[in-house]
Amino acid sequence: MLRLRMNRLENKVILITGSVTGIGKAIARRCVAEGARVLIHGLEADLGQETLAELGDGKAVLVLKDLAEEDATQLLVEKAVNAFGKLDAVVNNAAQVGLGNIHDTDAKWFRRMLEINCVVPYLLIRAALPHLREARGSVINIGSVNAWSGEPNLMPYSVSKGALMTLTRNLGDTLMREDGVRVNQINPGWVLTENEAKRKRSHGLKDDWYADLPKVYAPAGRILWPEEIASCAAWLLADECGPISGQVFDLEQHPFIGRNPPKDASTIPTK
Protein backbone atom coordinates (compact mmCIF):
# COMPACT_ATOMS: atom_id res chain seq x y z
CA MET A 1 0.00 0.00 0.00
CA LEU A 2 1.12 3.56 -0.69
CA ARG A 3 2.96 5.07 2.29
CA LEU A 4 2.98 8.82 2.75
CA ARG A 5 4.51 11.12 5.30
CA MET A 6 1.44 13.31 5.49
CA ASN A 7 -1.87 12.21 6.98
CA ARG A 8 -3.95 14.95 5.43
CA LEU A 9 -7.15 12.92 5.75
CA GLU A 10 -6.65 11.72 9.33
CA ASN A 11 -9.97 10.68 10.94
CA LYS A 12 -12.03 11.65 7.89
CA VAL A 13 -14.79 9.32 6.68
CA ILE A 14 -15.14 9.25 2.91
CA LEU A 15 -17.78 7.54 0.78
CA ILE A 16 -16.51 6.54 -2.68
CA THR A 17 -18.80 5.04 -5.29
CA GLY A 18 -17.45 2.68 -7.93
CA SER A 19 -14.38 1.99 -5.82
CA VAL A 20 -13.55 -1.70 -6.25
CA THR A 21 -11.61 -1.09 -9.46
CA GLY A 22 -9.89 1.63 -11.47
CA ILE A 23 -9.83 5.28 -10.43
CA GLY A 24 -12.26 4.75 -7.55
CA LYS A 25 -10.09 2.01 -6.05
CA ALA A 26 -6.99 4.17 -6.41
CA ILE A 27 -8.77 6.99 -4.57
CA ALA A 28 -9.84 4.61 -1.79
CA ARG A 29 -6.25 3.40 -1.40
CA ARG A 30 -4.93 6.96 -1.25
CA CYS A 31 -7.55 8.05 1.28
CA VAL A 32 -6.73 5.15 3.62
CA ALA A 33 -2.99 5.76 3.17
CA GLU A 34 -3.56 9.34 4.31
CA GLY A 35 -5.49 8.36 7.41
CA ALA A 36 -9.13 8.17 6.31
CA ARG A 37 -11.71 5.43 6.70
CA VAL A 38 -13.78 4.70 3.64
CA LEU A 39 -16.99 3.19 2.43
CA ILE A 40 -16.25 1.41 -0.83
CA HIS A 41 -18.95 0.49 -3.31
CA GLY A 42 -19.36 -1.61 -6.40
CA LEU A 43 -21.29 -4.41 -8.07
CA GLU A 44 -18.76 -7.27 -8.10
CA ALA A 45 -18.57 -9.22 -4.83
CA ASP A 46 -15.17 -10.77 -5.59
CA LEU A 47 -13.54 -7.45 -6.46
CA GLY A 48 -15.18 -5.86 -3.43
CA GLN A 49 -13.78 -8.43 -1.04
CA GLU A 50 -10.31 -8.16 -2.59
CA THR A 51 -10.35 -4.39 -2.16
CA LEU A 52 -11.67 -4.64 1.38
CA ALA A 53 -8.86 -7.02 2.35
CA GLU A 54 -6.26 -4.78 0.71
CA LEU A 55 -7.39 -1.65 2.54
CA GLY A 56 -7.08 -3.32 5.91
CA ASP A 57 -9.17 -4.34 8.87
CA GLY A 58 -11.27 -1.51 10.29
CA LYS A 59 -10.32 0.89 7.51
CA ALA A 60 -13.20 0.21 5.14
CA VAL A 61 -16.71 -1.16 4.74
CA LEU A 62 -18.17 -2.53 1.52
CA VAL A 63 -21.59 -2.02 -0.03
CA LEU A 64 -22.64 -3.91 -3.17
CA LYS A 65 -25.54 -2.04 -4.76
CA ASP A 66 -26.90 -0.98 -8.14
CA LEU A 67 -27.07 2.79 -7.93
CA ALA A 68 -30.16 2.80 -10.15
CA GLU A 69 -32.17 1.29 -7.29
CA GLU A 70 -34.37 3.83 -5.56
CA ASP A 71 -32.93 3.35 -2.07
CA ALA A 72 -29.27 3.20 -3.13
CA THR A 73 -28.03 6.67 -2.23
CA GLN A 74 -29.70 6.81 1.18
CA LEU A 75 -28.43 3.30 1.95
CA LEU A 76 -24.82 4.25 1.17
CA VAL A 77 -24.97 7.28 3.46
CA GLU A 78 -26.56 5.30 6.29
CA LYS A 79 -23.99 2.49 6.00
CA ALA A 80 -21.10 4.95 6.18
CA VAL A 81 -22.50 6.77 9.20
CA ASN A 82 -23.46 3.55 10.98
CA ALA A 83 -19.99 2.10 10.42
CA PHE A 84 -17.90 5.13 11.34
CA GLY A 85 -20.19 7.57 13.16
CA LYS A 86 -19.99 10.42 10.66
CA LEU A 87 -19.45 11.35 7.03
CA ASP A 88 -16.95 14.00 5.90
CA ALA A 89 -16.84 13.61 2.14
CA VAL A 90 -18.37 11.97 -0.92
CA VAL A 91 -16.59 10.97 -4.12
CA ASN A 92 -19.04 10.32 -6.97
CA ASN A 93 -16.87 8.07 -9.12
CA ALA A 94 -19.26 5.33 -10.35
CA ALA A 95 -20.36 5.82 -13.93
CA GLN A 96 -22.21 4.16 -16.77
CA VAL A 97 -19.80 3.88 -19.69
CA GLY A 98 -20.71 2.81 -23.19
CA LEU A 99 -20.86 3.68 -26.85
CA GLY A 100 -23.62 5.57 -28.61
CA ASN A 101 -24.24 8.18 -31.28
CA ILE A 102 -27.25 10.01 -32.66
CA HIS A 103 -28.12 7.09 -34.93
CA ASP A 104 -28.05 4.21 -32.46
CA THR A 105 -28.80 5.77 -29.05
CA ASP A 106 -32.38 5.13 -28.03
CA ALA A 107 -34.23 6.88 -25.23
CA LYS A 108 -33.74 4.05 -22.72
CA TRP A 109 -29.96 4.03 -23.10
CA PHE A 110 -29.71 7.84 -23.01
CA ARG A 111 -31.85 8.01 -19.85
CA ARG A 112 -29.75 5.31 -18.16
CA MET A 113 -26.58 7.26 -18.91
CA LEU A 114 -28.02 10.49 -17.51
CA GLU A 115 -29.48 8.70 -14.49
CA ILE A 116 -26.28 7.00 -13.33
CA ASN A 117 -23.83 9.72 -14.34
CA CYS A 118 -25.70 12.83 -13.20
CA VAL A 119 -28.93 12.17 -11.31
CA VAL A 120 -27.44 9.60 -8.92
CA PRO A 121 -24.52 11.88 -7.92
CA TYR A 122 -27.05 14.63 -7.24
CA LEU A 123 -29.17 12.32 -5.09
CA LEU A 124 -26.14 11.10 -3.16
CA ILE A 125 -25.02 14.66 -2.42
CA ARG A 126 -28.53 15.51 -1.24
CA ALA A 127 -28.72 12.42 0.98
CA ALA A 128 -25.30 13.17 2.48
CA LEU A 129 -25.81 16.92 2.90
CA PRO A 130 -26.85 16.96 6.59
CA HIS A 131 -23.62 15.14 7.49
CA LEU A 132 -21.47 17.14 5.08
CA ARG A 133 -22.89 20.35 6.49
CA GLU A 134 -21.99 19.31 10.03
CA ALA A 135 -18.46 18.37 8.96
CA ARG A 136 -18.03 21.36 6.63
CA GLY A 137 -17.02 18.62 4.25
CA SER A 138 -16.51 18.18 0.55
CA VAL A 139 -17.66 16.44 -2.60
CA ILE A 140 -15.67 15.36 -5.62
CA ASN A 141 -17.49 14.43 -8.81
CA ILE A 142 -15.41 12.37 -11.23
CA GLY A 143 -16.24 13.48 -14.74
CA SER A 144 -14.35 13.13 -18.01
CA VAL A 145 -12.61 15.38 -20.51
CA ASN A 146 -15.38 14.20 -22.85
CA ALA A 147 -17.65 16.58 -20.91
CA TRP A 148 -16.39 19.42 -23.09
CA SER A 149 -17.67 17.86 -26.32
CA GLY A 150 -16.80 14.20 -26.60
CA GLU A 151 -16.23 11.77 -29.39
CA PRO A 152 -18.99 10.95 -31.91
CA ASN A 153 -19.51 7.43 -30.56
CA LEU A 154 -19.52 8.61 -26.93
CA MET A 155 -22.39 11.07 -27.35
CA PRO A 156 -24.70 10.08 -24.44
CA TYR A 157 -21.75 9.53 -22.09
CA SER A 158 -20.25 12.90 -23.01
CA VAL A 159 -23.56 14.70 -22.51
CA SER A 160 -24.03 13.08 -19.10
CA LYS A 161 -20.58 14.21 -17.98
CA GLY A 162 -21.29 17.72 -19.28
CA ALA A 163 -24.45 17.75 -17.16
CA LEU A 164 -22.42 16.61 -14.15
CA MET A 165 -19.98 19.47 -14.75
CA THR A 166 -22.79 22.02 -14.60
CA LEU A 167 -24.15 20.35 -11.45
CA THR A 168 -20.69 20.67 -9.89
CA ARG A 169 -20.45 24.37 -10.63
CA ASN A 170 -24.02 25.05 -9.49
CA LEU A 171 -23.71 23.19 -6.19
CA GLY A 172 -20.11 24.27 -5.70
CA ASP A 173 -21.34 27.84 -5.50
CA THR A 174 -24.61 27.22 -3.64
CA LEU A 175 -23.43 24.73 -1.02
CA MET A 176 -20.23 26.61 -0.20
CA ARG A 177 -22.19 29.78 0.45
CA GLU A 178 -25.11 28.20 2.29
CA ASP A 179 -23.56 25.18 4.05
CA GLY A 180 -19.77 25.51 3.93
CA VAL A 181 -19.57 22.38 1.75
CA ARG A 182 -17.09 22.32 -1.14
CA VAL A 183 -18.03 20.66 -4.45
CA ASN A 184 -15.41 20.19 -7.16
CA GLN A 185 -14.90 17.98 -10.21
CA ILE A 186 -12.00 16.05 -11.70
CA ASN A 187 -12.17 15.42 -15.44
CA PRO A 188 -9.66 12.63 -16.13
CA GLY A 189 -8.20 12.28 -19.57
CA TRP A 190 -6.92 8.97 -20.89
CA VAL A 191 -6.26 6.71 -17.89
CA LEU A 192 -4.94 3.14 -17.88
CA THR A 193 -7.59 1.43 -15.79
CA GLU A 194 -8.41 -2.27 -15.93
CA ASN A 195 -11.60 -1.55 -17.84
CA GLU A 196 -9.84 0.70 -20.34
CA ALA A 197 -7.29 -2.03 -21.04
CA LYS A 198 -10.10 -4.55 -21.61
CA ARG A 199 -11.98 -2.18 -23.92
CA LYS A 200 -8.97 -1.59 -26.12
CA ARG A 201 -8.26 -5.32 -26.37
CA SER A 202 -11.90 -5.86 -27.34
CA HIS A 203 -11.34 -3.33 -30.14
CA GLY A 204 -8.66 -5.63 -31.55
CA LEU A 205 -5.55 -3.92 -30.17
CA LYS A 206 -2.64 -5.94 -28.84
CA ASP A 207 -2.28 -6.60 -25.12
CA ASP A 208 0.44 -3.98 -24.64
CA TRP A 209 -1.20 -1.35 -26.87
CA TYR A 210 -0.42 1.34 -24.31
CA ALA A 211 3.36 0.79 -24.59
CA ASP A 212 3.75 2.47 -27.98
CA LEU A 213 1.36 5.39 -28.35
CA PRO A 214 1.63 8.27 -30.84
CA LYS A 215 2.91 11.47 -29.22
CA VAL A 216 -0.19 13.32 -30.40
CA TYR A 217 -2.21 11.35 -27.85
CA ALA A 218 0.45 10.74 -25.21
CA PRO A 219 3.17 13.42 -25.22
CA ALA A 220 4.79 11.77 -22.18
CA GLY A 221 4.98 8.43 -23.99
CA ARG A 222 2.34 6.90 -21.73
CA ILE A 223 -1.16 7.64 -20.49
CA LEU A 224 -2.17 8.50 -16.94
CA TRP A 225 -2.23 6.07 -14.02
CA PRO A 226 -5.26 5.91 -11.69
CA GLU A 227 -2.92 6.81 -8.80
CA GLU A 228 -2.21 10.17 -10.43
CA ILE A 229 -5.92 11.02 -10.42
CA ALA A 230 -6.05 9.91 -6.78
CA SER A 231 -3.30 12.38 -5.88
CA CYS A 232 -5.47 15.27 -7.03
CA ALA A 233 -8.48 13.83 -5.23
CA ALA A 234 -6.57 13.61 -1.94
CA TRP A 235 -5.71 17.30 -2.10
CA LEU A 236 -9.30 18.28 -2.90
CA LEU A 237 -10.56 16.21 0.04
CA ALA A 238 -8.01 17.62 2.47
CA ASP A 239 -8.46 20.74 4.58
CA GLU A 240 -5.44 22.30 2.87
CA CYS A 241 -7.65 22.75 -0.21
CA GLY A 242 -9.23 25.63 1.73
CA PRO A 243 -12.42 27.19 0.37
CA ILE A 244 -11.89 26.13 -3.26
CA SER A 245 -15.27 25.10 -4.66
CA GLY A 246 -17.18 24.92 -7.91
CA GLN A 247 -14.01 24.16 -9.88
CA VAL A 248 -13.35 21.64 -12.65
CA PHE A 249 -9.86 20.17 -12.91
CA ASP A 250 -8.96 18.71 -16.31
CA LEU A 251 -6.24 16.11 -15.72
CA GLU A 252 -4.60 15.39 -19.04
CA GLN A 253 -1.08 15.78 -20.43
CA HIS A 254 -1.96 18.19 -23.21
CA PRO A 255 -4.23 21.23 -23.61
CA PHE A 256 -7.55 20.96 -25.39
CA ILE A 257 -7.24 24.41 -26.95
CA GLY A 258 -4.17 25.80 -28.66
CA ARG A 259 -2.14 22.64 -29.19
CA ASN A 260 0.92 22.74 -31.41
CA PRO A 261 0.55 20.89 -34.74
CA PRO A 262 1.55 17.26 -34.19
CA LYS A 263 4.52 15.84 -36.08
CA ASP A 264 2.98 12.36 -35.87
CA ALA A 265 -0.41 12.33 -37.57
CA SER A 266 -1.06 8.63 -36.98
CA THR A 267 -4.19 7.71 -35.08
CA ILE A 268 -5.34 5.27 -32.43
CA PRO A 269 -8.75 4.97 -30.75
CA THR A 270 -8.78 6.92 -27.48
CA LYS A 271 -10.79 7.24 -24.31
Catalytic residue list:
157
**Residue 267, SS3 per DSSP:** coil
CB 22 within 8 A of CB 195: yes
Helices and strands in the chain, H and E counts: 8, 7
For 61, phi and psi rounded to 5 degrees?
-125, 155
DSSP per position, 58-123: TTEEEEE--TTSTTHHHHHHHHHHHHHS---EEEE-------B-TTT--HHHHHHHHIIIIIHHHH
Residues contacting residue 71 through CB under 8 Å, at least 6 positions apart: none
Task: List the beta strands (DSSP E) in the chain.
Answer: 13-16, 37-42, 60-64, 89-92, 138-142, 182-188, 248-251
